[in-house]
């Protein structure tokens, strides 16, 4: 089941809920019981220290090419 983040419109508190996709935009009750209104927040994440083969040049490592083909059948050797 996916996790969704919701943000309070009153004080910007963020809560995380596990919900089915069909209920992602359903109303959220204030867990603190203060009557705040929550709306779904766009969740973002970052990855550090990696490069995509598309941006780092075409480099073979091990027995497979980053393009997904076996190293011997790739034309970018």
pTM: 0.56
What angle is formed at CA 50 by the lines to CA 45 and CA 56, rounded to 5 degrees?
A: 130
In the chain, what are the domain boundaries? 3-41
pLDDT band of 43, cuts 50, 70, 90: confident
Other C-beta atoms lying within 10 Å of the C-beta of residue 28 = 19
Average pLDDT, the chain: 79
Q: Which range, 23-27, 53-57, 70-74, is most confident? A: 23-27
Residue that has been written with the tokens 């019981």 in this structure = 33
pLDDT band of 44, cuts 50, 70, 90: confident
């Amino acid at each position: 089941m996916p996790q969704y983040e919701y943000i309070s419109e009153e004080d910007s508190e963020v809560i995380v809920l596990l919900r089915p996709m069909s209920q992602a935009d359903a109303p959220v009750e204030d867990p603190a019981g203060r009557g705040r209104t929550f709306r779904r927040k766009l969740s973002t994440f970052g990855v550090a220290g990696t490069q995509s083969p598309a941006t780092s040049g075409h480099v073979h490592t091990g027995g497979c090419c980053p393009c997904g083909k076996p190293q011997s059948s790739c034309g970018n050797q």
